[in-house]
Structure 1
């Protein structure tokens, strides 16, 4: 995040992720009472128990308490951007409540509503996690537990999420509680899937009878580099130049189309990679 351009990109993606999470909370979770754990689930329950309070206001209160605890036990430096994320998410939810009030769900299809209640926050969380930040809330609890205890944090947070879902079942009915439990597990899988999708790259290996042409195309047209080494074919015994490079999905298609034109007999393998770390890609 050294240059202004990199900071602008980071800020845009962070706020986009937080806004998508807020949209999922306001548009789908709140009107259906999908209290699927975390601070949003607690806020939905609080807004029900205290009718004069909205979900955005409850989020401000809960996140404010958690941020204060985080600063006390972890320090401002450790909390970092988590402080901003916690209050920005609450602000986005409050903004949506004012701009687009939701008095009832969009549809009568509860399962369809659940899909969007899971997908939007999962996509938002994935974007936020992918830029190295967090959405705050229970992440602060996890950071504190990690520092001061040897507790299995993932299990502890899952138990707390299921407890909130059970509370929702007692408050809104068994059907809603079961949907909350289903959504809690579904979100965990979807966040991982979205992150892998965002970071996915193609590891490409090429053996061609036109090695200089392949090298020039990768360097000059795709603006990527490659590792080049000499290998010997087991059947032919001939020495061949082998290129290994990492490309985006679009670049891999361009390379394949180029090889189809210049060397239809070239050997090409393309393998998906969920994350690439190094120069030209993500930093450690």
Structure 2
């Protein structure tokens, strides 16, 4: 996140979202540097996070937010930048979006944050129906609009593009982290399939009796959820031991229960 923000976002005056976006505006006034403003504001928002979101969220976020702020300050002193790395703003925008968004997605996925307006977004998510991407879009929109007035319209338009893509990318990355495969297997003999799931894949399954609508013959249904690697093994195994089985495989990322990320 620090690399993407310092080398690509700060250097190009991109203001899409976050305290780092606001820091770009403040740095333009000469009151303080973008890194110092980021550190000061993150500390204030961390206090808000402790109060509203609880101690566990605050401790994780305090570590990440402080590390990010200190790293930005170090980069500013070790490698001061007076201009962008390249003369290709779209290329720079790509890295300014991808690196911080990927980092934010990792942190949100473990219940933490890099601080700043991510904390405000998490509060909105807790008390409303917004997902993280929409919450970030709402909290960061005002900062991006302000960038159009402080800098030229071209920089402002790049910032709007960055804001939209970043919000979508965070949600997609989080979903890909938690993506699993849901199996619905219609078969004649569920025992070997269930044994393979339990003893080879170390997962469990649910079975129930069914009847073929066309043939009227008794069938068995096997339900299970696996990660992508396990899903490939089970699919190949079923094709080998019971090639006549009917297999439905669906993607799912919202799984609540023992053994998965979202546990009640």
> Which band: TM-score by shorter chain?
0.7 to 0.9
Deviations 1:152-200, CA, capped at 9 Å, x for gaps: 9998974653332233223331100011111112211111111111111
Which residue of the partner structure matches residue 64 of structure 1? Answer: 43
Q: 1:74 to 1:211 in 2, by over 3 A?
A: closer
CA distance in 2, matches of 1:260, 1:158: 45
CA distance in 2, matches of 1:75, 1:254: 40
Q: 1:167 to 1:200 in 2, by over 3 A?
A: same
1:6-25 equivalences in 2 (<5 Å): 21-25=1-5
Which 5+ residue runs of structure 1 have no aligned equivalent? Answer: 1-20
Q: 1:209 aligns with which of 188, 194, 198?
A: 188
User: By how many angstroms is 1:30 displaced?
Assistant: 1.1
Which residue of the partner structure matches residue 233 of structure 1? Answer: 212
CA distance in 2, matches of 1:121, 1:44: 15
Q: 1:169 to 1:112 in 2, by over 3 A?
A: same
Q: 1:171 aligns with which of 128, 132, 150?
A: 150
Whether the aligned pair in 2 keeps the contact of 1:205 and 1:243 (CA below 8 Å) is yes
User: Are 1:27 and 2:14 counterparts?
Assistant: no
RMSD of equivalent CA atoms: 3.1
Q: 1:61 to 1:187 in 2, by over 3 A?
A: same
Which 5+ residue runs of structure 2 have no aligned equivalent? Answer: none
Whether the aligned pair in 1 keeps the contact of 2:46 and 2:58 (CA below 8 Å) is no
Whether the aligned pair in 2 keeps the contact of 1:208 and 1:214 (CA below 8 Å) is no
User: Are 1:36 and 2:13 counterparts?
Assistant: no
SS of alignment partner, residue 80 of structure 1:
helix
Compute the TM-score of the two structures, normalised by the length of structure 1. Answer: 0.79
Which residue of the partner structure matches residue 278 of structure 1? Answer: 257
Q: 1:47 aligns with which of 16, 24, 27?
A: 27
CA distance in 1, matches of 2:49, 2:231: 44
CA distance in 1, matches of 2:146, 2:178: 36
User: Are 1:80 and 2:58 counterparts?
Assistant: yes
CA distance in 1, matches of 2:162, 2:77: 26
CA distance in 2, matches of 1:30, 1:255: 48
